[in-house]
Structure 1
Amino acid sequence: MTGRTPVVIGISGITNSGKTSLTNKIRAQLPGCLTICQDSYFLEPPDPRLTPIPELDHYNFDELNALDMDAMISDIQAWKDAQCNTTPPGSTSHDLYSNVLIVEGFRMYALRELEQMLDKKYFLRVSFDVCQARRRTRNYTPPDKPGYFEKIVWPESINHQREIQDHTDIEFMDGTGNQEEMCLKIVSDIKRLCLQ
């Protein structure tokens, strides 16, 4: 049994850069498309794999070790395998893009194994001020402790950007730009990939 070729898209970026909003807009344009969010793989305190920050009485949730990346990679691979072994659906309007998976998260390109699973990669950037202002409007569990953004969130975000800044296969985008335009551009890229 031969299925459709799976297309896996990475939407990454600094925390609060608009990844989830953009992903939802893209998904709405691609009937049958599925998403996996990296936030679903956060470890729960007091998991021993989490790094404590004693001076903040908090854990570091902004490093890769705060995520069960093995589980995430396994889930993506299972989806890809299922696509390759499933009879392609009829060309009905509600499942046209059921072979497309959008994987969204803030540390998407830190592992080579995950990077190699992605057919196209995007990264949203925002400034310190924009990121901080947006983060203040969000509720986290557990909630941010005073000083956590300045001491942990932003430095971790900048370090990750430095790690990937020379990756020529990542398309960097302005997270404060017009999301409708970004959505149309990415949807066009995805449709082109589906035709290959």
Structure 2
Amino acid sequence: MSSTSPAIIVGLGGVTNGGKTTMCKSLEHLFSSTKSNFRVKSMHLDNYFRPNDDPHHIHLDEFHHHDWDCLEALDTEKFVHDIELNRYQCDLLLIEGFLIFNISNAKELYDLIYYFDLPYEECQRRRSSRNYDPPDPKNYFEKHVWQVHLKTKQEVLEYFNKKKLVIVNTKEESFDKIQERIVNDIEIILKEKQIQ
């Protein structure tokens, strides 16, 4: 592919602990190892969390805890800036994160859009098995994280209602099946770009 044409940008967004990071790393490995002269980069929204003492944070008095599940907790300007830089430095740019589709300046950049979703019980089970720094306070998932997820998911569904939004459920669908679908979708766009 030409170095002057922008990368294919694949968005892997959605619910916390939905399998986004695992899928992103697997796709990066797969496309890096099987495509000759094919440059792949990945970006992870978790790398853009603001430091704990950043004044942009919203503090939740009920939990004596910052709200780590809102856009204010993230340096979204740097995130969008890095997308713009990276999209001309590779052929395939994989972007994953729980709020990537809620960042207004990035919504139009994705060629493929996958929303990872889980039922409440499975999401809670996976979340409780993870260690966070700082740790989740008691009832933070039930009273805050899940409520924010429902709200931000609704925003995504409303915004992308007429666009190619694919919802995947990593509890109901196997990892391999989901990956196979994403790989096929990427390869279709790759062929279209090569024809042009």
Range into which the TM-score falls when normalised by the shorter chain: 0.7 to 0.9
Name the Cα RMSD after superposition.
1.5
Q: Which has the higher contact order (CA 8 A, sep 6+)?
A: 1
Q: Which residue of 1 aligns with 2:57?
A: 50
Corresponding residue SS for 1:74: helix
Q: Which residue of 2 aligns with 1:93?
A: none
Would you say the 8 A contact 2:40–2:93 is kept in 1? yes
Alpha-carbon distance in 2 for matches of 1:185, 1:73: 27
Which structure 2 residue ranges, 5 or more long, are not aligned? Answer: 33-38
Cα shift at 1:152: 1.3
Cα shift at 1:181: 0.8
Match of 2:182 among 168, 186, 195: 186
Which of 119-128 and 22-31 deviates more? Answer: 22-31
Would you say the 8 A contact 1:9–1:119 is kept in 2? yes
Cα shift at 1:111: 2.4
Alpha-carbon distance in 2 for matches of 1:146, 1:58: 11
Query: Any runs of at least 4 consecutive aligned residues in structure 1 with deviations exceeding 2 A, and if so which?
Result: 1-5
Q: Which residue of 1 aligns with 2:4?
A: 3
Q: Which amino acid aligns with 2:11?
A: G
In proportion to residue count, which structure has more helix?
Answer: 2
1:114 aligns with 2:106: yes
Q: Kindly, what percent of the aligned residue pairs are identical?
A: 27
Would you say the 8 A contact 1:29–1:187 is kept in 2? no
Q: List per-residue Cα deviations over 1:73-106 (Å, max 9, x = no partner).
A: 00010112x43xxxxxxxxxxxxxx410100000
Q: TM-score if structure 2 supplies the norm length?
A: 0.87
Q: Which residue of 1 aligns with 2:94?
A: 102
Would you say the 8 A contact 1:56–1:145 is kept in 2? yes
Which structure 1 residue ranges, 5 or more long, are not aligned? Answer: 84-97
Q: 1:36 to 1:2 in 2, by over 3 A?
A: closer
Q: Which residue of 1 aligns with 2:76?
A: 69
- What are the equivalent positions in structure 2 for 1:76-91 lying under 5 Å apart? 76-80=83-87, 82-83=88-89
